[in-house]
């Protein structure tokens, strides 16, 4: 169990937070085992909208220390969304926490949420979109990332946003290195 938990702690050293589901996948542990692991479990109420219906759900967040009051809930969810994109793009048995970085933001905000150097050395950008940026700004970011990175993985929980960006990619925004995902849930 310790080797698997080290993998989770190594990711948390970069991201500071992940969902219990993500930690469970990385460490091959169920929720009761995660509770006994010494990691901090933080329940978070989340408002979700899917197919026009609103619901409130509890998501268990995991960290090495309690981040409530230190990190906004929306920031925690945003980071978990970006991590989900990386975990979905890299086979779990090949995932190396040492290859994961969270780049420093520039004043223009033109850095992806996470970077992952996947063997044989390709640098992948992961960008999770909550819908806060204007669509034109998101287009600009994705264009830039497709020029600067070997691969770009983009995801959103907002169905309309996913449709609009998919249409933009089909009209020539992206290239083969861009992968778009509609993330239905983070738990």
**143-181 per-position pLDDT tens digit:** 888 888 888 888 887 777 777 777 766 665 544 556 665
The answer to whether residue 187 sits within a structural domain is no
3-state class of 39 per DSSP?
coil
Q: Which tens digit of pLDDT belongs to each residue from 95-139?
A: 999 999 999 877 666 789 999 998 767 899 998 887 777 877 777
Q: What is the pTM of this model?
A: 0.84
Total domains, the chain: 1
In a 10 Å sphere around its CB, with 0-12 CB exposed, 13-18 middle and 19+ buried, how is residue 117 labelled? middle
Instruction: Answer whether residue 112 is part of any domain.
Output: yes
How far from 31 is each of 111, 120, 139, CA to CA, in Å? Answer: 33, 34, 38
Tokens 């970077």 — which residue? 115
89 in any annotated domain: yes
What residues pair up with 14 in beta bridges, in sequence order?
A: none
Residue range(s) defining the domain that contains residue 83 = 2-182
DSSP string for residues in 82-141: HHHHHHHHS-GGG--GGGEE-PPPPTT--S-SEEEEETTTEEEEEEEE-S-S-HHHHHHH
Tell me whether strands 100-101 and 151-156 are parallel, antiparallel or unpaired: unpaired
């Amino acid at each position: 169990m310790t080797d698997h938990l080290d993998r989770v702690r190594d990711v948390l050293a970069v991201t500071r937070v992940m969902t219990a589901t993500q930690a469970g996948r990385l460490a091959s542990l169920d929720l009761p085992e995660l509770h006994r692991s010494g990691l901090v479990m933080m329940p978070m109420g989340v408002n979700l909208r899917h197919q026009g219906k609103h619901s409130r759900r509890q998501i268990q967040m995991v960290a090495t220390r309690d981040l409530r009051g230190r990190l906004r809930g929306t920031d925690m969810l945003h980071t978990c969304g970006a991590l989900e994109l990386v975990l979905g793009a890299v086979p779990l048995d090949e995932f190396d926490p040492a290859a994961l970085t969270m780049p420093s933001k520039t004043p223009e905000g033109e850095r992806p949420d996470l970077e992952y150097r996947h063997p044989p050395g390709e640098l992948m950008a992961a960008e999770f979109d909550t819908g806060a940026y204007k669509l034109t700004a998101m287009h600009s970011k994705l264009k830039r990332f497709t020029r600067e990175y070997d691969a770009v993985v983009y995801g959103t929980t907002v169905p309309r946003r996913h449709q609009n960006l998919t249409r933009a990619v089909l009209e020539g925004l992206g290239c083969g290195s861009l992968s778009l995902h509609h993330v239905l849930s983070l738990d």
